[in-house]
Chains A and B, each alone.
Chain A
Amino acid sequence: MKLKKMLIVGTALFAGVHAQAADMELEFWTMNLAKFNTYFDQTIVKFNEANPGLKAKWVDMNWDQIQPKLIASIAAGNPPALVNFNVPWVHEFAAQGNILPLDQFLGANKAIYSTNAVKDVQVKGQMYAFPWYNSTQIIAYNKDIFAKAGIKNAPKTFDEFIVMGKQIKAKTGLAAFAPKMSDMIGFFYYAGLPVITDGKAVFNSPKHVAFIQKFADLYKAGVMPKDVFKMAFEQEIAAYNSGKIAMMTTAAQGLKRTETDAKAIYDKTEVAPFPLDAGKLNLGSWMMDFVIPKGTKDPAAAAKLGIFLTSDEQQLAFSKATESTMPSTKKANLDPYFQSGANSADVVDRARSVAAKSMDNARTLTLTPGTLPDETVMTKKLQDEIQNAVEGRKSVKEALDTAAAAWNEKLKK
């Protein structure tokens, strides 16, 4: 009798333990997406149903916690299954060997992503992230200020952009725009200018000097606000919302803030695509993605979740939830949802359709990782010198020469 009892209990325990062990938890981190909990709740339910034995767990946090938390958890040996990264981080972590290459898990799935999206997350020919939601810059402008300056339409080329800027300042006294001066390397790529060739810094060529000179002239004329180098997207939106600048060069999400914080200006806003320059690439495209950290318990299972979250269907649903971002998959991008708002009375709808049309040239512009031995310091040197030039403390040629010399010294080693 006792033996029989023991066997029964033993089997029950064994089955119980086995059942527990079968349910694997896949934790995935996102940054600042807490408000889309309806979307994530339903996507988790769908995933769990389609994958018995796997349980997705969602953790959201502020963007500045992602890297420290991830590094700490990799060092401690318990990293999550997936982490929401941006493109520069993918490159940094791939170079350090802290995230896994994904081609082995993607297989045929690779084909669903747009060409640009794949290129964005490729390091040495391998994909290191699942491309996710994307956004690109558009121009949102204040119709009243444009009218006052005698401008009828948004600029169609970068040169027009600059000329109009000067006109706005001259006729209305207001600054025209506040582009992202904190990423001049991105600007160089936008203009089709190289930064490093054959291991040498080449950004002090006459073409580069002329390009930066344009900005120096704009700054001197007051077309850009005096603190433009310190302005991140939040301050740019705030300036636009206070009527202090005529144009916002921002992703469509920014307009939601204008809708809440400055309804009067929101009603006067019109949108247009941001002009392309010689580089034939959009300025300020920003793609988000998912990476699998090294050391995660079950990379194959994690990849399943990654593929699921970035599938056509899920990406479209997510875009509809945010109302302002684009998918990075080919099919989802063609969905009529994105163009449906083209003639809507609501500015965000129009912005969405403008952004969607611009997605073909959307690449997240960033320097190839591993090119710079001390990226933080060298990038800062270049930025500081350009800032000196644009703000009039040095001549452009002198500034770029100084920065190039500093770069070449470090690159030699």
Chain B
Amino acid sequence: MAMGKQLQTVLTLSGQYAGLITFGIFTTFPFIWALSVALSGDPSNTWLFPRSFIPTDVSLMWFKRVFDEMPFMTYMKNSTLMTIESILGVLIVSILAGYPLARLKFPGRNFIFVSILATMMLPSEVAIIPNFITLKHMGLLDTHLGAIIPNFAAAFGIFLMKQAFEAVPQDLVDAARVDGATEMQILWRVMVPVTGPSIAALGIFSLVNAWNDYIWPSIVISSRDKLPLAVGVFNDLTGPFATSYSMVMAAIIMTVIPVLIFFAFTQRFFIGGMDGAVK
């Protein structure tokens, strides 16, 4: 009998891992290709499949060339700064806004929520020109702040926090009220700790968004030394005079890896404790 159960477990586990590995290949194969091209000293197999998944003539020369031909560290520093500021901005605004929408009764609540939602449904490209003019009046053109501030009040972040706050049991809130806590204290002492996983998720989303943001920063920023990576790579390494595809791949790999490492280290925060986060 024990054998049967063990066999079942082994089969289930194998099935699970098989599924995970297959799906993993599905999600990572473009990245593997880019990595292979970036590591191939000899680019002649780049476009031959499946050959190009294995590097030809392994070498780090393309990575080195990226540093030679492009101010990579400057761009990286800009991206890092802008991303950290973005995350802070989004989190603060979303947490503050999500709380009353989720837990407080007040006139105009539904109207505000629907309006915020409605903004998600509009094409974002049309906001480029009005926002550009606004930034000019505020003197924020060609600044990092100007490049990220429109993203602070993101409907998605507010919506996410609202949903998360709604799921918090009322008794926790009532207990805190009975203790005489102010709303601000309830928010930061009760709500935020309990919705940790959602906040972490919002954090990582903002990070990826800010890191990869291209259109708006490219329009707002004109000084080369203020550009983030996402824009700098395309400005400097592509176009009719670009000589090497492999270099672009190497640059892209270097753009992805920092975020990947960050994700791997922090993902336990939005997976939380495995004993069920909310008791």
**What residues on B are CB-neighbors of A62 within 8 Å?**
218, 231, 234-235, 238-239
* A233 pairs with B132, CB closer than 8 A: no
Which B-chain residue is minimally distant from A259 (CB atoms)?
B243
**What residues on A are CB-neighbors of B278 within 8 Å?**
none
Q: Which of A59, A75, A254 contacts B133 (CB 8 A)?
A: A75
A264 CA to B231 CA, complexed, in Å:
33
The size of the chain A interface, using a CB distance under 8 A, is 41
**What residues on A are CB-neighbors of B69 within 8 Å?**
35
A14 in the interface (beta carbon within 8 A): no
B6 in the interface (beta carbon within 8 A): no
A11 in the interface (beta carbon within 8 A): no
* A32 pairs with B43, CB closer than 8 A: no
* B48 pairs with A242, CB closer than 8 A: yes
* A72 pairs with B47, CB closer than 8 A: no
Known: A35-B69, A68-B219, A257-B244. Contact between A63 and B46, CB under 8 A? Answer: no
Shortest CB-to-CB span from A354 to chain B, Å, is 18
Interface residues of A in 69-104 (CB under 8 A from B): 69, 71-73, 75-78
B224 in the interface (beta carbon within 8 A): yes
User: Digit string of A309-347 for contact with B (CB within 8 Å is 1, else 0)?
Assistant: 000000000000010000000000000000000000000
**What residues on A are CB-neighbors of B44 within 8 Å?**
241-242, 261-265
A33 CA to B234 CA, complexed, in Å:
12
User: Digit string of B34-51 for contact with A (CB within 8 Å is 1, else 0)?
Assistant: 000000000110111000
* B235 pairs with A60, CB closer than 8 A: yes
**What residues on A are CB-neighbors of B132 within 8 Å?**
72-73, 75-76
* A77 pairs with B243, CB closer than 8 A: no
Interface residues of B in 156-171 (CB under 8 A from A): none
Interface residues of B in 243-273 (CB under 8 A from A): 243-246
B177 in the interface (beta carbon within 8 A): no
Given contacts A69-B218, A263-B44, 8 further A-B contacts (CB under 8 A): A27-B222, A33-B239, A68-B128, A68-B215, A69-B219, A242-B46, A260-B43, A261-B246
Residues of B within 8 A of A (CB): 43-44, 46-48, 69, 128-129, 132-133, 136, 141, 215, 218-219, 222-224, 231, 234-236, 238-246
**CB<8 Å pairs between A and B, sample of 23:** A32-B241, A32-B242, A34-B224, A34-B235, A35-B69, A35-B241, A59-B222, A59-B223, A59-B224, A60-B224, A62-B218, A65-B218, A69-B222, A76-B132, A78-B136, A241-B47, A242-B44, A242-B48, A253-B241, A257-B244, A260-B246, A261-B43, A262-B43
